[in-house]
Amino acid sequence: MSEEKMSAETYVVSGGRPAHEHDAPVNPPIILSSTYRGAGTVDTVSDKVYARFANPTWEAMEEVVAGLEGGTHGLLFPSGMAAIASILDLVPVGSVILIPKHAYMASITMSKDLQKRGIAEVVRIDLEDTASVIAAFEDAAARTGVTPETVDYAAPKVLAWLESPTNPMLEVADLPTICAAAKRLGVVTAVDNTFATPILQKPLSFGADVVVHSATKFLAGHSDVLLGVTVTSNEDLYQAMLHHRITNGAIPGPVEAWLGLRGLRTLALRVERSVHNAQRLAERLSEHPAVEEVRYPGLPGSNGHELAKKQMHGGFGAVLCVVLRASDEQTQRVVEALRVWTPATSLGGVESLIERRRRHGSEPDSIPPSLLRLSVGIENVDDLYQDLVTAIEQVIQ
């Protein structure tokens, strides 16, 4: 069966394997070498030369993630932020970065740092208001003079950084409409697909130019490795990100790459179980009297539910937010009273993690002080629910 005809559930297990030959290993080996033999003229396409340029251990995971996302080129990085930097650092002086009002805070921080250095202007956008997003694209394109004919993917004058669902407020963007408008205007689009994973959503199929993941999260899936990955089918973007990785030394370790691929093998199963648990928890918690709001696109009647139904297949993700009818101090005590849930930042592991997001001073005031972000794992959902309810009822009278 060809890779094109395989389901994601099959490809995530079978992709990136060594050749089907007698006595070949089932798993790709870990290649530990800082350099490669060679004496002739260097062919930059086929020769590995030096470990900052290439390592066969990376290539297997790059191949699988690119195949899952429907892209032609995958690039592995030592962290999600290194992957993000390989895109954001491409913008030239005088550029505009459009980024959601709610997004991964480190992405916003990196964008603001570019603004402080006089490289780019940062414009915040509301992804739930598609018309205003397109208007912001039109304004940025007009002010920078970019057009579809003049767009430089290796040095984008206007870069739209998108998330859907957003972190942590789980807003859903109309990605097909937004990406189509970007193409029409010469705006380059990057989508952080960490929350959805390619099991549930493929932004490249909606017209996005590049997809980025913190592979630390769902892709590797075991809270034991830092990795990032980008995927694109645009040759100019790929070459620019590859150049960034080589020249900045933003390379993953081969052991980390091997661990990431091992974790990736169970992605489909883990996502299926975690999404099932998240949906049930969202439904049950929304009925609890101590809960003011549950933010989860899988809840009928939520702002992004109908849009998410069209864009996400197989579920609505394994992250949800709960706003308690409580003070920030009470909310923190609820977290401390939990026994099954682990109080920690990050997400996407097999274990369920919980965090009061406003404990981070960098979180904006638009995040409610009593908001808890839940990364739902693969445990028994009844145990997860009972642990939450017991802690809530111990603290909130």
Provide DSSP, 331-369: HHHHHHH-SSSEE-S---SSS-EEEEGGGSTTS-TTS-T
Q: Is the pTM of this model over 0.85?
A: yes
Per-residue model confidence (pLDDT) at position 80: 98
Q: Which residue numbers are catalytic? A: 52, 104, 192, 217
Mean pLDDT computed over every residue of the chain: 96
C-alpha dihedral, 23 to 72 to 347 to 80, nearest 10°: 100
The residue ranges of DSSP E strands in 243-338, in sequence order, are: 291-295, 319-324
**Rounded to whole angstroms, how far apart are CA atoms 83 and 154?**
15
- Residue 1 — very low, low, confident or very high, per pLDDT cuts 50/70/90? low
> What's residue 70's pLDDT?
97
Q: What is the number of other CB atoms lying within 10 angstroms of the CB of residue 193?
A: 27
Higher pLDDT, 360 or 299: 299
State pLDDT tens for residues 117-142.
999 999 999 999 999 999 999 999 99
Q: What is the mean pLDDT of residues 284-292?
A: 97
Backbone angles phi, psi at 327, to 5 degrees: -75, 170
Q: How high is the pLDDT of residue 4?
A: 67
- Split at pLDDT 50, 70, 90, the class of 364 is confident
Q: CA geometry: angle at 27 spanning 22 and 30, to 5°? A: 115
CA–CA distance, 362 with 56 (Å, rounded to integer):
38
Q: Are 326 and 337 in contact (CB under 8 A)?
A: no
Domain 3-263 bears CATH identifier 3.40.50.2020: no
Q: Helix (H, G, I), strand (E, B), or coil: what is residue 42?
A: coil
Fold held by 268-396: Aspartate Aminotransferase, domain 1 (3.90.1150)
Residue whose token pair is 């790059």: 62
What does the pLDDT read at residue 348? 98
- Domain layout of the chain by residue ranges: 3-263, 268-396
Complete edge-to-edge strand list for the sheet that includes strand 353-356: 291-295, 319-324, 371-375, 353-356, 342-343
Mean pLDDT of 70-95: 98
Residue 2's pLDDT band (boundaries 50, 70, 90)? low
